[in-house]
A and B are shown apart, each in its own frame.
Chain A
Amino acid sequence: MDVLTLSRLQFAFTIAFHYIYPPLSIGLGLLLVGMEAAYLRTRRPLYRQMTKFWVKVFALTFALGVATGIVMEFEFGTNWATFSRYVGDVFGSALAAEGVFAFFLESGFLALLLFGWDRVGPKLHFFSTVMVALGSMFSAVWIVVANSWMQTPAGFHVVGEGLQARAEITDFWAMVFNPSSMDRLSHVLLGCWQAGAFLVLSVSAYYLLQGRHQAFAKASMKIALSLALVASMLQLVTGHRSAVIVSRHQPAKLAAFEAHYPASAPGALHLFGWVDEGAQRVHGPKVPGLLSWLVRGDAQQPVAGLEAYPQADWPPVQISFQCFHAMVAIGLGLIALSLAGVWHWWRGTLWTTRWLLWLFVFSVLGPQLANQLGWFAAEVGRQPWIVYGLLRTSESLSRTVTAHMVWASLIMFTFIYLLLFALFLFLLDQKIRQGPDEEEPADLYRRHAHAAGS
C-alpha cells in the first residue's frame, strides 16, 4: 500500500477509535449536571449516589478520550504536514482556542469533580461539574468549526502558488460561522447527548432486568430517557438542516449520499439499497421526488447529480450512500425507541416491560454506530478533497514520511487500541457489575492481598 492509503487508514482508525469516548463524556457530562442539580435541590442521598457512580464511568471515558485525543493533534503534523501548512493560518486559531477555552477548563475542574467531594462545598462541586460539562462541549465547538471549514471554507483567501499555497484568514467570524458550522455543531452535540443518554439507559435497564439497584436504576432512567427523547427528536431538525446545507454547498456529496447520478433531475429518496456503480443505479425501494422536496421544498425541482461534475471529483458513492442511510435508519430507530420508552413511562409500565428493557440494554450501540457512520459519510463524502474544492487529500501528505514509517505506526496503534478497547470494556463491565453502592476496589486490595497470604 502507498503512503496515501496508509495515512488515510491510520487517520480513519485513530479518529474513529477516539470518537467512541468524547461523545460519551459530553453526554454523561450533561447528565451529571442534571443529577447533581437534583441532589442540590432535594438533598436526597439517591441523587448523590447516582452522581458518584456516573462520575466514575465519566472518568473512565474521559481518560481514554484524552489519551487517544493527543494522537489526533499530533497526526495533523506527522502525517498531513502539507495540509497543516495549507490550513495552519485558518485552522490554528480554532485549535488554539480549543486548548485555551476547552481543554484547560475540563481538565482543571475535573480534579474537583473527581477528587473534590470532601474538599469543597456542594455548591462549588456542582460548579465544577458544570465547568467540566461546558469544557467538553466547547471542545466539540472548536473542532467542529475547524472541520466545517474544511467542508464549506469561508472567510479566507489563498496566498502563494503550488506547494507554497496556503489559506489565510481574512474574516475570523466568517471562518467561525462558515455556512455549515452551526448546523453541523448542533447535529454533533445532539449525537453526543444521545451517546451519553443511551449508555445510562442501557445500564439502568440492565439493573432493572436483574432486579438490582431498583431505585437507582429508575431515577437514572427517567433523567436519561428525557434527554434521549429531546436529543433524538431534535436530530430530525439538525439532520435535515445539515442535509440542506450539504445540497447547497457540497452538491456532489449530497448526490453521493443518494447515489443521484443524472446531472439535473428531480431526486428520489431511497429507504435502503445497493448502488450498482457500473450501471449508475440503485437497487432498492425509493420515494420519487422526496429528495427534491426535502432539500428544495418542491418534488419537481431538479437536484444536481454526480454527472454534473467531472468524475475525478466524485466521492466513493457506495460507502457514502451506505453510511448515510445506515445513520438515518439508526437515528429513526432511536426516535421510535425513545417514544416507546416515554409512552410506557407515562402508562407506568416502563419498569416491567421486559422486551423494551432488553431493547434499551442494546440501544447503547445505536448512537455509537450512528455517530461513527455519520462522520464516515461526512468525511468520505467530502473526498477527493481534504478542503472542499481547494486542496485534494492526495496532495496533503507529509513529504518526508515513507510507507514503512506509517506501517510501523499503524501496527503500533492497532495493537495499543485493541488492548485499550478490551480493557475499557472489561473495566466498564466490572464497574457496572459492581453497581453504585459496593466497596471501593482500593479497599478490596488489602483483603485480597491478605487472602492471598502476602
Chain B
Amino acid sequence: MLPDLNTVWFGLVGFLLIGYAILDGFDLGVGGLHLFARGDRERRMMLNAIGPVWDGNEVWLVTSGGALFAAFPEAYATVFSGFYLAFMLLLAALIFRAVAIEFRSKQPMRWWRQLWDVSFGLSSLLCSLLIGVALGNIAQGIPLDAQHEYAGTWVGLLRPYPLLIGVTTVALFLMHGAIYTVMKTEGPLHERARVWVRFTMIGFIICYAVTTMATLLYVPHLAEPIRARPWLFVLPLGALLAIANVPREIFHGRDGRAFFSSCAAIAFLLMLVGVGTYPYLVRSVPDLAHSLTVHNAASSPKTLGIMLVIAACGMPVVLGYTVTIYWIFRGKVRLEPTSY
C-alpha cells in the first residue's frame, strides 16, 4: 500500500529537518566548542572548518520552514505564533551567529575578535537549546484550543521534559561538533578535540539515558507505535549502535567513520521522534481532539502534488551539488588568504 501524499510530506519535512540537524548540528556544536579553543589561530581553524558550509547548512532550516508553511500551513501558523517569544530569541541568536562568523576576522583588534568569538559561541549554544526545547514541546504535546491555536503561555513552554530535550540537543550537537573538529584539524587542536569528544560523549550518553527514561515514564505515547509494531525497534537500536560505534572509530583513528556514525545517530533519533508523533504534527494535550494532524493541517492534495514535483526535480540536484561541494572542501582545514 502506498502512503498518501500527506504522509509523504510528513516524511519530506522530516527529511529536511534531519538534514538540518545533521549539517547545522555540527557547525552549531563547533560554535559552542569554539569558546574553549586556545589562541587566535585555533579559533580561526575551527571557524574555517565550517567556513565554506555553514551558510548552506542553515538553508536546510529555511527550506524546512518553507516546506512546513507550504505543506502544513495550519501547523506552521500555530507553532510559529504560539512559540512567539522563543522564536524571536532564536532569530536573534541566528542573526548574531551569522554576523559573528562574517565579522570576526575582518578587524585585527583583540577586543573585536573576543566580542564576536563570545557572541558566536553563546548564540550557537542558544540556537541548539531553543531548537531542542521546541522539538521537546512538539514531542510532549501542547495545549491547543478548538481553532487549533496555542492555548498556553510562553512560560508553559519551559516544562521539564522540553528543557531536558533542549539540554540533550546541546549535548548531541557538541559531541557532533567535536567529532567534526577532530576530522577537520591536525596538531594540538586535533589532540584537544579528541579530549572534547570524550567529555561530550559522556555528557550526551548521560542525557540520552535520562531522556529515554523520562520519555518512557512521562511521555509514553512516543513509545506506543514501537510497541504496536515491534520491527520499528530497529530505530532505537540503530541509534544505540551508531552512538556506541563513535568511540570505537575514534579509538582506531578513523575520524571520518566516527563522524558518519554520529550523523546516523542523529538521523535515527529524529526518525524515532517522527515515528512517535505521527500522524500528529502538533499533539494537543490534554484535549487530543484539538490536535493538528497530517490531514487536518495540510494544504490541498493539488498543492501537495505540485510541491512533490518541485521537490522531485530540485532535491536530487541540490543533494548532488551539496555532496560535490563537501567533496571539494574535504580534508584538513588550512588557512588561506580568503579564509575567515
Contacts and interface: CB of A to CB of B under 8 A. Distances in A.
A71 B337 CA distance: 32
Interface stretch (B74-82, B213-221, B247-255, B268-276): B74-82
Nearest to A166: B73
Given A95-B66, A95-B69, A103-B62, A399 B149 contact: yes
A117 B76 contact: no
A104 B318 contact: yes
Given A77-B80, A420-B99, A114 B338 contact: yes
Contact of B325 (A69, A100, A109, A444): A109
Which residue, A60, A70, A116, A163, has most C-beta atoms of chain B within 10 A? A70
Contact of B84 (A90, A96, A119, A405): A405
Contacts of B79: 77
A116 B95 CA distance: 25
A272 to B, nearest CB: 38
Interface string A74-103: 101111011011011111110111111101
Interface stretch (B200-208, B223-231, B237-245, B304-312): B304-312
B337 to A, nearest CB: 5
A430 interface: yes
A136 to B, nearest CB: 13
A338 B259 CA distance: 55
A99 B81 CA distance: 22
B332 to A, nearest CB: 13
Interface stretch (A167-175, A208-216, A219-227): A167-175
Chain A interface size range: 35 or more
Given A77-B80, A84-B77, A88-B299, A99 B325 contact: no
Nearest to B152: A400
A161 interface: no
Given A84-B77, A452-B110, A408 B302 contact: no
Interface in B30-53: 40, 44, 51-53
A111 interface: yes
A70 B91 CA distance: 7
A84 B88 contact: no
B322 interface: yes
A397 B299 CA distance: 20
A64 B52 CA distance: 16
Given A73-B66, A111-B52, A92 B307 contact: yes
A442 interface: yes
A80 B1 CA distance: 38
A107 B59 contact: yes
A261 to B, nearest CB: 39
B10 interface: no
B199 interface: no
A95 B64 CA distance: 11
B283 to A, nearest CB: 17
Contacts of B336: 115, 117-118
A39 B95 CA distance: 35
A59 interface: yes
B107 to A, nearest CB: 6
B155 interface: no
B321 interface: yes
A363 to B, nearest CB: 26
A66 B58 contact: yes
Contact of B147 (A111, A163, A449): A163
B2 interface: no
A133 B106 CA distance: 24
A29 to B, nearest CB: 15
B195 interface: no
Nearest to A119: B328
A440 interface: yes
A120 interface: yes
A28 interface: no
Contacts of B87: 74, 78
A400 B84 contact: yes
A398 interface: yes
A112 B325 CA distance: 7
B66 A96 contact: yes
A165 interface: no
A399 B76 CA distance: 14
Contact of A93 (B55, B76, B92, B310): B310
A159 B340 CA distance: 51
Given A66-B58, A111-B55, A448-B108, A96 B310 contact: yes
Interface of B: 40, 44, 51-53, 55-56, 58-59, 61-63, 65-67, 69-71, 73-74, 76-85, 87-88, 91-92, 94-96, 98-99, 101-103, 105-110, 113, 147, 149-151, 154, 299-300, 302-303, 306-307, 310-311, 314-315, 318, 321-322, 325, 328-329, 335-340
Interface of A: 59-60, 63-64, 66-71, 73-74, 76-79, 81-82, 84-85, 87-93, 95-101, 103-105, 107-112, 114-120, 159, 163, 166, 168-170, 172, 398-401, 405, 408-409, 412, 416, 420, 423, 427, 430, 440-445, 447-449, 452, 454
9 contacts: A70-B91, A71-B91, A92-B303, A96-B310, A115-B336, A117-B336, A401-B81, A441-B106, A449-B40
Given A74-B80, A168-B300, 11 more contacts: A90-B303, A92-B307, A96-B69, A100-B315, A100-B318, A398-B81, A398-B84, A400-B151, A441-B106, A442-B44, A449-B108
